[in-house]
Amino acid sequence: MSSDGSRPTELGRRAPRVLLYSHDTFGLGHLRRSRTIAGALTELDPNLSALILTGSPVAGRFTFPDRVDHIRLPGVTKLTDGSYASEALGLDIDETTALRAGLIRAAAENFEPDLVIVDKEPNGFRGELMETLAWLRANTNAKLVLGLRDVLDEGETLAAEWDRKGAVAAMRDFYHDIWVYGLESIYNPLQGVSYPKEINHRMHYTGYLRRETWDHGPDVDVEPYILVTPGGGGDGAKLVDQVLRAYEADPTLSPKAHIIYGPFLSGDTRTQFEDRVAKLEGRVISLGFDSKMENLIDNAVGVIAMGGYNTFCEILSFDKRAIIMPRKVPRLEQYIRAARAEQLGLVRMLDPDRDGPGTDVMINAIRALPDQPLPSTGEYPDLLEGLDHITARVRDLLKTSDIKAAE
C-alpha cells in the first residue's frame, strides 16, 4: 500500500483516480453515461477507481461496476415555469446550489482525482462547478475533460443558453479536452455556438458508447417482445399512450409489448396506464424500472423509444430495429438525433407533424418493424468505438501504461 492507503501500480505510482460529475436534475442520461465510462476505465485498469457525483434521485437503485462508487448531491427539480427548487430539503435554490457546490469541492479535495470528466455542463448546474474547477487548475495536476453527447440542442437555442451561462468561457479556461460522444460526420454538438478556434484542437470525437449486457440482469421473456422505453419516463406518457392505443385498436397486433415506464413516470398517469395494460390480457406487460436495461433490449426483437442518447447507443450496440418517436420540447436534441439517424438508415422515426398523429401510424410502424433494415446495415458500421477511444485518450492524458489499450 502507498502512504495514502491506495494500491500502488506496478510502476510505483499511486493508483489512478477519476472523478465524474453528472448534474442530473431530471432524467437518467447523465448518470448512465458516466456509469458506462467509469465502468470501461475500471475494467481496463485493475488499479483505477472512479467516483461519480450525481444529483439523480434514483442513483441508489443502480448497480455500479467494481471500483466505481457515487456521491448523491442534494436533488433539485425543475418547476413548470422553468425555474428550479430543492427536491426535498427546505432550502431555496441558491442555498441548495451552494450546498452542492461545497460538497463537490470537498469531494475533489479529498478524493484527489488525476482526471475529472464533466458531463454536458461546462460550469455545472447554476455554476456550481466553477469554484472547484478553478481550485483544481490552481492546485493540482488533474486533467479536466468536458464530455458532450452527440447532440445538445438546436444551434440558435444552444448558443443563447451557453451565452447566458458563460459556458464558452468555462470551456475555454478550464478544460484540457472536450470529448464528443459521437461522430463529427454525423453531427457537431456545438453547431451554432461561437467559440475560439483553439477549442477545435482540444475536441476529440470518440464515437458512440458501446453497451454490454450484465451477467446478472432481469429475467426476460422467452416469447418474442418489443421493448417500449421512454427513458427516465418523466416526459414519456405520450409514447406509452400511443403504444397502448395501437394494441387496443388492433387485437391482432404482435408481438407483445414490454413497457418499462421509467422511475419518473408515476402517479395517476401510471395508474391509468396499468389499468389499460391489465385489460390487454398479457398482450402488453409493464414494469416500472430496471437499472439493467441492456439485458431487456438485447433480448427484444425491436425497440420503441423516444431516442435519448443512452437508448440510441443501446439500439446500435445490440443491433435492434427501432421506432423512435422523439420529443421536441423543451429541447430538439432527440428530434435532431432521430432525424439524422433515419437519414442514415439506422432507425425509423415517427413524427406526428410529418406522418400524422393517428393510431394507425403506430400500428403500421409496429407491423413493418420486422422488415426494417438492421442498424448494422446502415452507412456507418463503425459507430461504436467511443469507449476504446476514451480509454486510449485517458492513457495519453495520464501518461501511464497502466490503462491498457482495448483489445
Residue by residue, pLDDT tens for the chain (407 residues) are: 344 444 444 434 689 999 999 987 666 778 999 999 999 999 988 899 999 999 888 888 888 999 999 999 998 887 766 678 888 888 999 999 999 999 999 999 999 999 999 999 999 999 999 999 999 999 999 999 999 999 999 999 999 999 999 999 999 999 999 999 999 999 999 999 999 999 999 999 999 999 999 876 666 667 999 999 988 767 889 999 999 999 999 999 999 999 999 888 878 999 999 999 999 999 999 998 877 889 999 999 999 999 999 999 999 999 999 999 999 988 899 999 999 999 999 999 999 999 998 999 999 999 999 999 999 997 777 899 999 999 999 999 987 544 443 33
List the one residue out of 181, 222, 217, 384 whose CA is nearest residue 293.
217
Q: Is residue 293, in this structure, part of any structural domain at all?
A: yes
Considering the domain architecture, whether residues 200 and 243 belong to the same structural domain is answered as no
Considering the domain architecture, whether residues 59 and 155 belong to the same structural domain is answered as yes
DSSP one-letter string for 329-368: SS-SHHHHHHHHHHHTTS-EE--HHHH-S-HHHHHHHHHH
Considering the domain architecture, whether residues 299 and 364 belong to the same structural domain is answered as yes
Considering the domain architecture, whether residues 137 and 252 belong to the same structural domain is answered as no
8 Å CB contact between 324 and 348 = yes
pLDDT in tens, 79-104: 766 678 888 888 999 999 999 999 99
Q: Is residue 368, in this structure, part of any structural domain at all?
A: yes
Q: Is residue 10, in this structure, part of any structural domain at all?
A: no
pTM over 0.85: yes
DSSP bridge pairs for 68:
50
Considering the domain architecture, whether residues 145 and 249 belong to the same structural domain is answered as no
Contacting residues for 339 by C-beta, under 8 A, at least 6 apart: 349, 351
- Res 401: pLDDT: 44
The burial of 139, by beta-carbon neighbours within 10 Å (0-12 exposed, 13-18 middle, 19 or more buried), is given as: exposed
Q: Rounded to an integer, what distance in angstroms lies between the CA atom of residue 352 and that of residue 224?
A: 28
Q: Is residue 28, in this structure, part of any structural domain at all?
A: yes
- Res 406: pLDDT: 33
Q: Rounded to an integer, what distance in angstroms lies between the CA atom of residue 93 and that of residue 27?
A: 19
Considering the domain architecture, whether residues 27 and 119 belong to the same structural domain is answered as yes
Considering the domain architecture, whether residues 189 and 79 belong to the same structural domain is answered as yes
Q: Is residue 407, in this structure, part of any structural domain at all?
A: no
**Beta sheet of 17-22, edge-to-edge order:** 68-72, 49-54, 17-22, 115-119, 143-149, 177-181, 203-205
Q: Is residue 406, in this structure, part of any structural domain at all?
A: no
Q: Is residue 403, in this structure, part of any structural domain at all?
A: no
8 Å CB contact between 181 and 386 = yes
Q: Measuring CA to CA, how many Å separate 74 from each of 63, 189, 261, 264?
A: 20, 29, 24, 17
Considering the domain architecture, whether residues 192 and 282 belong to the same structural domain is answered as no
Considering the domain architecture, whether residues 89 and 148 belong to the same structural domain is answered as yes
**CATH number (domain holding residue 322):** 3.40.50.2000
Considering the domain architecture, whether residues 182 and 282 belong to the same structural domain is answered as no
Considering the domain architecture, whether residues 166 and 253 belong to the same structural domain is answered as no
Instruction: Provide the domain limits for residue 341.
Output: 225-377
Q: Is residue 246, in this structure, part of any structural domain at all?
A: yes
Considering the domain architecture, whether residues 363 and 392 belong to the same structural domain is answered as no
Q: Grid coordinates standing for 17? A: 483516480
How many domains, in total, are found in the chain? 2
